[in-house]
């Protein structure tokens, strides 16, 4: 190419504005779903629960993460995952498909670095379930490295505010790589690990010995630098341990609830969210058909019943909830208020788009 042509090409590229989230119709949430024909899709939703787009997925999805500036989302397969889709939400197309290296499996979650240059993916070594964080260049989508999660069976992963440190929920469960059979429930040691960008362990927090079978699964970041963690009990089904814990300064504290309220959750918290509007934390249980709401200090406030409620995120008046029957609902102190109904089955998570 002649020098003049080359410079003209560069000038044209520089003059072409990079698309932003406004070009994608400004979706407020992302959610995976199963459609009536048993296919799968990722939807972008408004705060009113309307679908702005529905993009096909090759198999069941779990969670997704959004680029902080560009209208890109990465949607992850349900663990043990073999794909992650990079989706251009402005154009409505899949632009790349990530595959974990041989012997690795995606574990359903990921997050971007503060500048959006690197995608971090939650992964396990298939044999033994030792945790890894995959590093991917967000321009080329090439894998550029990996680092340890400092635990077994990582699940959710979040970047801490105003930092590139990561908080990882290492669920502690070793699973069979083919059928998800749990192999180490008697000896499991879940933790939350704070990890620096170079992979070094900054802090690791565990629950007391009597709660070592409470698998740390999903995370919500709080504005004061703390985090809330939703858990799933893998011990004696007759016990009703807390399913919410608060993480602060490297320590993890469980948040008890009245026994009658604990029974409704059936020892399973499927998702979690924090509302900046009310300061509250909420966890969901699709098994129990319930949503529990807590104050910012972890004090139990209320339970709300909704069959197969699982996806939850912050909303204008409190929370937005999705259920397995296609409903999108607002939740505040007065209870549920229907927003929209879709002919599909929402999956586990409703992802609020936290973007610059």
Residue 40, CA distances (Å) to 30, 44, 55, 178 in order: 13, 14, 8, 21
Q: Which residues contact 10 (CB under 8 A, 6 or more apart)?
A: none
Residue 296, pLDDT above cutoff 60: yes
Residue 269 makes CB contacts below 8 A (sequence gap 6+) with 217, 218, 230, 231, 232, 243, 244, 283, 284, 285
Fold classified for 20-255: Methylamine Dehydrogenase; Chain H (2.130.10)
Q: For the chain, give the percent of residues with pLDDT over 90.
A: 79
* Of 165, 86, 180, 73, nearest in space to 124 by CA: 180
Of 21-30, 138-147, 302-311, the poorest mean pLDDT is in: 21-30
As given in the structure block, the two tokens for residue 278 are: 């009310």
Judge whether 312 and 273 are in contact, CB under 8 Å. Answer: yes
- Given a cut of 70, whether residue 4 has pLDDT beyond it is no
Region of residue 62 (left: phi > 0; alpha: psi -120 to 50; beta: else): alpha
Q: Tell me the CA distances in angstroms from 247 to 11, 111, 288, one per residue in order.
A: 49, 19, 25
Three-state DSSP class for 210? Answer: helix
pLDDT at 307: 97
| In the predicted structure, residue 115 carries a pLDDT above the cut 80 | yes
Place of tokens 């669920």: 171
pLDDT at 21 over 70: no
Helix, strand or coil for residue 32? strand
In this predicted structure, the answer to whether residue 166 has a pLDDT above a threshold of 90 is: yes
**Tell me: the pLDDT tens digits for 34-45?**
999 999 999 999
pLDDT at 13 over 50: no
| Distant-in-sequence, close-in-space partners of 113: CB < 8 Å, separation ≥ 6 | 119, 120, 159, 164, 197
pLDDT at 114: 94
Domain locations along the chain: 20-255
Mean pLDDT of the chain: 91
pTM score over 0.85: yes
ω into 80 cis (within 30 of 0): yes
Inform me whether the pLDDT recorded for 53 exceeds 70.
Answer: yes
Residue from 223, 188, 224, 221 nearest 207 by CA:
188
Point out the least confidently predicted range of 5-9, 34-38, 109-113, 188-192.
5-9
Q: What confidence tens digit (pLDDT) does each residue in 343-354 have?
A: 999 998 999 986
Of 186, 229, 183, 176, the closest CA to residue 207 belongs to 229
Q: Please say if the pLDDT value at position 136 is more than 90.
A: yes
What does the DSSP assignment read for 96-136?
EEE-PPTTEEEEEEEEE-TTSSEEEEEEEETTT-EEEEEEE
65-89 per-position pLDDT tens digit: 999 989 888 999 987 778 999 988 8
- Residue 12 has what pLDDT? 42
Sheet of 93-98, strands arranged across = 61-66, 72-77, 84-88, 93-98
Phi, psi of 276 (to 5 degrees): -70, -25
User: Under 8 Å CB-to-CB from 200, ≥6 apart: which residues?
Assistant: none
Nearest-angstrom CA–CA distance, 29 and 200: 32
Name the phi and psi angles at 209, rounded to 5. Answer: -50, -40
CB 112 within 8 A of CB 119: yes
- Residue 221 and residue 205: Cα distance in Å, rounded? 16
């Amino acid at each position: 190419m002649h020098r003049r042509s080359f410079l003209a090409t560069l000038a044209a590229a520089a003059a072409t504005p990079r698309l932003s989230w406004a070009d994608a119709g400004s979706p407020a949430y992302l959610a995976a779903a199963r459609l009536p024909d048993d296919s799968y899709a990722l939807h972008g939703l408004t705060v009113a629960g309307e679908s702005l787009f529905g993009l096909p997925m090759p198999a069941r999805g779990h969670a997704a993460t959004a680029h902080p500036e560009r209208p890109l989302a990465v949607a992850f397969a349900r663990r043990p995952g073999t794909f992650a889709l990079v989706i251009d939400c402005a154009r409505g197309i899949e632009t790349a498909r990530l595959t974990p290296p041989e012997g690795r499996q995606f574990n359903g979650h990921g997050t971007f670095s503060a500048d959006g240059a690197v995608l971090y993916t939650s992964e396990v070594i298939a044999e033994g379930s030792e945790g890894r964080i995959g590093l991917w260049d967000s321009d080329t989508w090439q894998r550029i490295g990996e680092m340890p999660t400092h635990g077994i069976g990582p699940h959710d992963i979040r970047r801490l505010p105003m930092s590139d440190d990561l908080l990882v929920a290492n669920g502690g469960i070793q699973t069979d790589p083919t059928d998800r059979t749990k192999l180490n429930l008697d000896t499991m040691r879940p933790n939350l690990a704070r990890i620096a960008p170079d992979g070094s362990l900054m802090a690791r927090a565990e629950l007391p010995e009597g709660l070592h079978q409470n698998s740390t699964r999903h995370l919500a970041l709080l504005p004061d630098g703390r985090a809330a963690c939703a858990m799933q009990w893998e011990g004696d089904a007759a016990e009703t341990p807390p399913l919410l814990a608060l993480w602060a300064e490297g320590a993890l504290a469980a948040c008890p609830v009245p026994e009658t309220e604990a029974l409704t959750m059936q020892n399973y918290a499927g998702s979690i969210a924090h509302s900046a509007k009310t300061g509250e934390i909420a966890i969901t249980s699709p098994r129990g058909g319930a949503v529990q709401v807590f104050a910012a200090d972890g004090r139990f406030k209320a339970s709300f019943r909704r069959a197969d409620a699982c996806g939850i995120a912050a909303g204008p008046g409190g929370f937005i909830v999705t259920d397995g029957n296609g409903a999108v609902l607002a939740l505040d102190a007065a209870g549920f208020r229907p927003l929209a109904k879709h002919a599909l089955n929402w999956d586990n998570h409703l992802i609020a788009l936290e973007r610059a």
